Structure 1
Amino acid sequence: MAGWVLRGVAAVFLLLAAALPAGALESFQKSSLSIETASGGRYRFDIELAETMAQQAQGLMFRESMAADAGMLFIYDSVRPASFWMKNTLIPLDMLFIGPDGRIVNIHERAVPQSLDSVNSAGPVKAILELNGGMSARLGIRPGDRVRHETFGTK
């Protein structure tokens, strides 16, 4: 049943993304978050929030660049397995899959621009943070590190 639900949700995102004309882009609320690493680092990012299905279907598509301290946080209304792809995404991204407690479950580094391959969470997540490709390795961000944002009851 869970696999069917995941495929159903993925199919809705695929249909929305395929139908999205480049001229009808979504707008996003702004926020900030920080990531605390096990080694004691604390890194702040200015982010955009992808909360609606339309915003999540668009994500960072069509963008040619992103500031080094920027990202996008995809927030789900319930905890669930997640699957992403890079269709129409022009920049490499790190995808940080985050559990409901703000802990990073897994990281997919340097997702390939325009790829149709699925990038999956290693378990149920509350949110996904997309950062510039290579940022996780550069800052030493790893699974188990904590993301601080109001989505996870922390700031």
Structure 2
Amino acid sequence: MIRRLALALILICAASGAWAQCRADRVELRGDWGQLGFDVEIADSPDERSRGLMYRKSLARGAGMLFVYEHPQPVSFWMKNTLIPLDMLFLDRQGVVRRVHSDAKPRDLTPIEGGEGIFAVLEINAGLARRYGIGPGTVMRHPVFAEGPAAWPC
């Protein structure tokens, strides 16, 4: 449902010339360190969020998976069948990074808590958050944040 809504918003705004730089398959991150983007797959259904990046042997450096929830909530991840070490960015409804969990270990069963009020989680290759300076306060631009007062609107 969220994916269809985001796609509809993109099509409407693309027709009017707005949001030219916002795409459903890409996120942009910005902080005092600069700006960068990742091509993303969206996981916005319970089945997609449950599977995530499990069983994959690699993830391109400029790629990630964006987990999107119906409403802000406490979230928890684990790495049971995940083969790739990951960084996890936990974001609120406005697209602000609230927490970063770095270097999640493959196949680890330890719960990784995101905290309260999490609306989206971006998983990227381990070490990239530290390398680029991504941390709490970094903002994300993506169409899923269009329904609320986004910190960095499309």
Q: TM-score range by the shorter chain?
A: 0.7 to 0.9
- Please point out which of 27, 33, 36 is paired with 1:33: 27
Aligned amino acid, residue 124 of structure 1:
G
Find out whether 1:134 has 2:127 as its counterpart.
Answer: yes
Pairing 1:2-81 to 2, within 5 Å after superposition = 31-39=25-33, 41-81=34-74
8 Å Cα contact 1:81-1:121 kept in structure 2: yes
Tell me the SS of whatever aligns to 1:57. Answer: helix
Q: Is the 8 A contact 1:105 1:123 kept in 2?
A: no
- Segments ≥4 residues shifted beyond 2 Å: none
Cross-structure match for 1:115: 108
AA in 2 matched with 1:34: E
* Aligned-pair CA distance for 1:59: 0.1
* Count of residues paired in the alignment: 125
Quick one: which amino acid aligns to residue 141 of structure 2? R
Q: CA RMSD in A?
A: 0.9
1:82 maps to which residue?
75
2:17 corresponds to: none
> What displacement does 1:122 show?
2.6
**Unaligned residue ranges in structure 1 (runs of 5+):** 1-29
TM-score (norm 2): 0.79
Closer, same or farther: CA 151–94 of 1 in aligned 2, 3 Å: same
Unaligned runs of 5+ in 2: 1-23, 147-152
